[in-house]
Amino acid sequence: MLGWVNFGRRLSSKVGHYCTPIHTLDNNIVNLSELASTISSKLQELEPERSVEFVFAPDLKVIGDKGLLVQVLENLLGNAWKYTGPCESPRIEVGRVQKGGQEVNFVRDNGVGFDMAYKNKLFEAFQRLHGAEFKGVGIGLATVKRIVERHGGTAWAESVVNEGTTVYFTLSKVLA
């Protein structure tokens, strides 16, 4: 098993090297609320039998590369969708708060959560905090981190087991 973990880490470092962007960000005004709404509709279409309450703060506008920010929200909303699967009344929220004088975007769910003792592994490639009951290979949050950092921001998460997770991210340019 350890051999596969080491292989994954070596592959991650190589993939990161080859995926280093050679073009500049296509910075435009991006409405995260609209993107989240579109992505949530697609998730609902994939599993129409699920009833998930989505709450989106209106007009969460930022400056960034729309294509990359779509990837961020696809990963974050996809994880929230996945990890609220066992919940009786799943709820996923996209919003913005002030923390330390900075505008901070977030995706929050009331899913299975994770043990904060493992928070340092959360954004590493091929590191999974849950077992085979949840599909995935462990690159989604690593991708989120890389894109957010490329936009001059940071990403982190707070969670409580069986109560849910909030993933926060900042971007260097946010429109109020």
Q: Is residue 24 very low, low, confident or very high in pLDDT (cuts 50, 70, 90)?
A: confident
143 burial via Cβ count (<10 Å: 0-12, 13-18, 19+): middle
Q: Is residue 3 part of a domain?
A: no
Q: Write down the pLDDT at residue 7.
A: 45
Residue whose C-alpha is closest to residue 92's, from 46, 41, 136: 41
Q: Write down the pLDDT at residue 25.
A: 86
Task: Indicate the Cα dihedral angle 162, 133, 56, 96, nearest 10°.
Answer: 60
pTM: 0.80
Q: Is residue 51 very low, low, confident or very high in pLDDT (cuts 50, 70, 90)?
A: very high
- How many structural domains comprise the chain? 1
Full domain range(s) for residue 41: 25-175
Q: Write down the pLDDT at residue 39.
A: 97
| 53 vs 12, higher pLDDT | 53
- Residue 116 sits in a domain of what CATH number? 3.30.565.10
Across the chain, mean pLDDT equals: 82
Q: Write down the pLDDT at residue 69.
A: 97
Q: Is residue 9 part of a domain?
A: no
